[in-house]
């Protein structure tokens, strides 16, 4: 964003920055060994920070927004009067103000670490006016400890120090604006909200500001998807910018990204349709940015140059939010592709914290990309086509296409079209994400799947292991001859947990199959509950890991109470039914007959996508497929009769497939009578 000439600068306007102001401390450690040290606990560390040279304190949340706007105001000659509103201890006001400008102000040491207890702010004006809503409230602090391992940096722990719920009640019970010296109506044209869901941003406060400043533009970032105050605000005011960070994105889509091969996934599309704002931004953990512009008319996507890491992830969504606010502050028009590119570059620069000079940490980079701004209505029309009939997209001026990636954009490589199946996959994904992000889990994550034969249980386990970077260990009970082989399974798991960077995901198929005329439920009780298994009278330990058990109709596996089925099921973290009958019944229970009919249509559509994928697995160069074949996949196969196996058989019996095309002439072995003769067979393009 280039600086404006003096004759083009906007008149000075006040910007209110409302939200949770958090003071972050970052401590970089190395292990320390001393013969004379005592009371060292489990580990003894020494701080790498050197006196007065390394910044270890910074602002997070609304404070980070203020710092970003302050830096950009100075860099790009924006004439802004910054006013901060939040909740912190009154005597910390001066220090917090200096943290806003400390990064770029020579002589200000408010953010430095050192061998003294009290930092030394400079004498310069911080460039911001601050108002605390409750001067008696504690300042929110977050302390992060990082350990230098030599081959990389790991986060040891995070300690949050924040007000109790009692302080939040105090805020909600008082007139929050009455004691604040705020500008008059007409002087505030922008209100920036960063809500970390810690009790500061309330419906009463937001509506009071909206009524005090009726002409102000609102810029919002929230960690709560459906906050009451946000719904009320959208009823009264237009939100010029609404940003949902990765914390919210993970609740809707646990796969850490919103894009599949640069294209918007179904979950991203659904979220964007529901959200209200002139410009709406979704951010994933991979720092993908999806921006819906011009009140839902156009769409752009972008990736920054810096890859996400322990350090670059800190504050990156907030920095992008602040950069976009600054772009919109300098213009009355909508965001452009160049605005988005500059905002991504700014976010890379102003996110995170610089590690101590003694640490040689290099961030991984990639090419900064921003897509061409395109018509969002056409994107919605493509999704509408992809989710009805045979899934064929018939865009104006474009060749007809079956875009298979749309059916497996939720979990790459796994086709799922029915609403009920997608909800189960998301639930499993959230559980795996939570387990993966738990530094030291105390219990295993155990999942029991009921599915039809040939329904792709193994492929689902493979896709989940790949997506969450687990080490997949596969065992099939029907391939075991003796019960002793179970001990081999446990030993394999124990070995995989020794010195391996990746945690194992253990997939046990056909769990309800008997072995040596016995059910095996009881054999897994001790490994799941106590983390042990017994061999030749000796106990061996297993660390917590992910177990996925799969079978068919496991509740009817046995009527004998002694087979331990109930005990086994009580150890499960999740029990999910992916078989056709159970999914159809769930649809009926959700919304009655109409939902069940819709479920059947979605199941038939799923067969179309699954059949195309099966053909692609057999013939890697296939790019076109007959409409009649897709129609047969939809109408000619009963979705209740294990369609995956039939579709696999059909794909494997194609004949004379050449030139990347599959038509009815390749299907003689199918013994299917197609409606149209061969010379009138039409094909559609396949995209994966």
Question: How far is 344 from 346, CA to CA, in rounded Å?
Answer: 5
Question: How far is 479 from 486, CA to CA, in rounded Å?
Answer: 11
CB 64 within 8 A of CB 103: no
Domain boundary among 376, 401, 426: 376
State the average pLDDT over residues 378-398: 91
- The answer to whether residues 161 and 250 belong to one domain is no
Decide if 421 is inside a domain.
no
Segment (H or E) for 122: none
Q: Residue 13 — pLDDT band, cuts 50, 70, 90?
A: confident
Decide if 215 is inside a domain.
no
Q: In terms of DSSP H, where are the helices of 497-564?
A: 525-529
Q: Checking DSSP bridges between strand 217-222 and strand 239-244, what pairing results, if any?
A: parallel
Question: How far is 208 from 172, CA to CA, in rounded Å?
Answer: 12
Q: Looking at residue 473, which CATH number applies to its domain?
A: 3.40.50.300
Provide the pLDDT for residue 115.
62
Q: Kindly report the number of other CB atoms within 10 A of residue 87's CB atom.
A: 27
- The answer to whether residues 370 and 395 belong to one domain is no
Tally of structural domains, the chain: 4
CB 66 within 8 A of CB 81: no
Question: How far is 584 from 420, CA to CA, in rounded Å?
Answer: 8
Residue 561 has pLDDT above 80, yes or no: no
- The answer to whether residues 290 and 353 belong to one domain is yes
State which residues form the domain around 678: 387-414+602-687
Phi, psi of 413, deg, nearest 5: 90, -10
Question: How far is 98 from 67, CA to CA, in rounded Å?
Answer: 10
Decide if 225 is inside a domain.
no
Residue 625: partners with Cβ closer than 8 Å, 6 or more residues away: 402, 612, 615, 661, 662, 663, 683, 684, 686
Q: What is the pLDDT of residues 220-271, one digit of tens each?
A: 999 887 888 999 999 888 899 999 988 877 777 788 788 887 889 998 999 8
Decide if 433 is inside a domain.
no
> What angle (nearest 5°) sits at the alpha carbon of residue 58, between those of residues 56 and 62?
165
Q: In terms of DSSP H, where are the helices of 174-220?
A: 203-212
Residue 541 or residue 4, greater confidence? 541
Provide the pLDDT for residue 169.
59
- The answer to whether residues 294 and 354 belong to one domain is yes
CB 193 within 8 A of CB 19: yes
Angle between helix 580-618 and helix 419-437 axes, rounded to 10 deg = 80
Q: Residue 79 — pLDDT band, cuts 50, 70, 90?
A: confident
Decide if 208 is inside a domain.
no
- The answer to whether residues 369 and 461 belong to one domain is no
Contacts 24+ apart (CB under 8 A), 287-292: 287/312, 287/313, 287/316, 288/257, 288/258, 288/259, 289/320, 289/340, 289/344, 290/258, 290/259, 290/264, 291/335, 291/340, 292/376
Residue 172 has pLDDT above 80, yes or no: no
- The answer to whether residues 179 and 304 belong to one domain is no
Provide the pLDDT for residue 117.
72
Question: How far is 194 from 140, CA to CA, in rounded Å?
Answer: 15
Decide if 211 is inside a domain.
no
Token pair for residue 189? 């044209």
Tell me the CA distances in angstroms from 321 to 159, 213, 287, 315, one per residue in order: 25, 22, 12, 10
Helix (H, G, I), strand (E, B) or coil at 642: coil
Q: What is the mean pLDDT of the chain?
A: 88
- The answer to whether residues 541 and 616 belong to one domain is no
Least confident of 103-107, 208-212, 304-308: 103-107
Token pair for residue 455? 């329904």
Q: What is the pLDDT of residues 641-656, one digit of tens each?
A: 889 999 999 999 999 9
- The answer to whether residues 511 and 563 belong to one domain is yes
Question: How far is 259 from 284, CA to CA, in rounded Å?
Answer: 9
- The answer to whether residues 296 and 372 belong to one domain is yes
Helix (H, G, I), strand (E, B) or coil at 264: strand
Provide the pLDDT for residue 396.
73
Residue 514: partners with Cβ closer than 8 Å, 6 or more residues away: 520
Residue 202 or residue 224, greater confidence? 202
- The answer to whether residues 498 and 521 belong to one domain is yes
594-623 CB burial, b ≥16 within 10 A, e <16: ebbeebebbbbbbbbbbbbbbbbeebeebe
State the average pLDDT over residues 409-436: 92
Provide the pLDDT for residue 10.
41
Look at the pTM and tell me if it is higher than 0.85.
Answer: yes
Residue 678 has pLDDT above 70, yes or no: no
- The answer to whether residues 320 and 271 belong to one domain is yes
Provide the pLDDT for residue 151.
67
For 404-450, strand residue ranges (E) read 445-450
> What is the DSSP-derived secondary structure letter of residue 497?
T
Among residues 647, 108, 106, 107, the alpha carbon closest in space to that of 97 is found at: 108
Residue 429 has pLDDT above 80, yes or no: yes
Q: Checking DSSP bridges between strand 445-450 and strand 574-577, what pairing results, if any?
A: parallel
Decide if 13 is inside a domain.
yes
Rg of the chain in Å (alpha carbons): 29
Residue 81's DSSP bridge partners are 14
Among residues 248, 336, 351, 261, the alpha carbon closest in space to that of 305 is found at: 351
Token pair for residue 301? 């996507």
Domain boundary among 172, 194, 216: 194
Token pair for residue 386? 């992809």
- The answer to whether residues 403 and 453 belong to one domain is no
Q: What is the pLDDT of residues 34-68, one digit of tens each?
A: 888 888 888 888 888 765 567 788 999 999 999 99
Decide if 58 is inside a domain.
yes
> What is the DSSP-derived secondary structure letter of residue 469?
T
């Amino acid at each position: 964003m280039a600086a404006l000439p003096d004759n083009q600068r906007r008149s000075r306007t006040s910007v209110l920055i409302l939200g949770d102001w958090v003071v972050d401390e970052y401590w970089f450690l190395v292990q320390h060994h001393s013969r004379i040290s005592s009371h060292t606990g489990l580990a003894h560390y020494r701080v790498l920070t050197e006196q007065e040279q390394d910044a270890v304190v910074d602002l997070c949340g609304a404070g980070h927004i203020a710092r970003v706007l302050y830096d950009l105001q100075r860099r790009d000659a924006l004439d802004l009067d910054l006013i901060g509103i939040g909740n912190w201890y009154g005597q910390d006001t001066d220090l917090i103000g200096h943290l806003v400008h400390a990064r770029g102000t020579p002589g200000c040491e408010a953010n430095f670490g050192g061998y003294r207890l009290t930092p030394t702010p400079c004498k310069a004006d911080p460039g911001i006016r601050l108002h605390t809503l409750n001067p008696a409230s504690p300042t929110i602090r977050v302390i992060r400890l990082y350990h230098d391992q030599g081959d990389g940096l790991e986060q040891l722990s995070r300690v949050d120090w924040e007000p109790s719920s009692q302080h939040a009640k105090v805020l909600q019970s008082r007139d929050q604006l009455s004691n604040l010296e705020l500008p008059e109506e007409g002087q505030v044209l922008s209100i920036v909200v960063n809500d970390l869901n810690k009790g500061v941003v309330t419906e009463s406060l937001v509506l009071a500001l909206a009524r005090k400043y009726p002409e102000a533009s609102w810029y919002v970032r929230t960690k709560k998807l459906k906050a009451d105050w946000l719904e009320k605000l959208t009823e009264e005011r237009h939100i010029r910018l609404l940003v949902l960070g990765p914390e919210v994105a993970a609740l809707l889509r646990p796969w850490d990204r919103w894009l599949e091969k640069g294209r918007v996934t179904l979950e991203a599309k659904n979220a964007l349709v529901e959200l209200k704002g002139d410009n709406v931004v979704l951010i994933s953990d991979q720092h993908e940015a999806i921006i819906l512009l011009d009140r839902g008319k156009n769409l752009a996507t972008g990736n920054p140059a810096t890859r996400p890491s322990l350090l670059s992830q800190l504050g990156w969504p907030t920095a992008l939010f602040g950069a976009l606010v600054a772009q919109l502050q300098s213009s009355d028009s909508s965001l452009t592709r160049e605005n988005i590119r500059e905002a991504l570059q700014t976010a890379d620069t102003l996110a995170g914290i610089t590690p101590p000079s003694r640490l040689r940490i290099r961030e991984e980079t990639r090419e900064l990309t921003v897509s061409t701004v395109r018509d969002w209505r056409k994107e919605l029309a493509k999704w509408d086509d992809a989710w009805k009939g045979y899934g064929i997209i018939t865009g104006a001026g474009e060749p007809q296409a079956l875009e298979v990636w749309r059916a497996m954009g939720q979990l790459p490589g796994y086709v799922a079209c029915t609403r009920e199946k997608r909800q189960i996959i998301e639930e499993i994904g959230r559980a795996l994400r939570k387990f993966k992000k738990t530094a030291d889990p105390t219990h295993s994550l155990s999942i029991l799947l009921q599915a039809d034969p040939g329904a792709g249980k193994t492929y689902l386990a493979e896709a989940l292991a790949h997506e969450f970077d687990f080490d997949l260990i596969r065992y099939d009970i029907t391939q075991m001859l003796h019960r002793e082989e179970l001990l081999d399974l446990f030993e394999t798991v124990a070995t995989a947990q020794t010195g391996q960077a990746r945690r194992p995901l253990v997939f046990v198929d056909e769990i309800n199959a008997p072995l040596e005329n016995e059910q095996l439920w009881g054999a897994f009780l001790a490994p799941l509950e106590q983390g042990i298994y017994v061999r030749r009278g000796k106990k061996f330990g297993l660390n917590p890991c992910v177990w996925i058990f799969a079978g068919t109709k496991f509740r009817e596996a046995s009527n004998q109470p002694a087979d331990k089925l109930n005990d086994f099921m009580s150890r499960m973290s999740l029990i999910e039914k992916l078989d056709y009958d159970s999914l159809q019944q769930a649809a009926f229970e959700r919304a009655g007959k109409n939902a069940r009919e819709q479920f059947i249509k979605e199941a038939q559509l799923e067969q179309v996508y699954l059949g195309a994928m099966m053909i692609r697995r057999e013939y890697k160069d296939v790019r076109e497929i007959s409409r009649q074949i897709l129609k047969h996949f939809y109408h000619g196969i009963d979705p209740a009769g294990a369609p995956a196996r039939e579709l696999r058989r059909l794909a494997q019996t194609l004949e004379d497939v050449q030139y990347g095309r599959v038509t009815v002439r390749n299907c003689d072995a199918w013994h299917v009578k197609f409606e149209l003769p061969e010379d009138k067979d039409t094909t559609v393009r396949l995209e994966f």
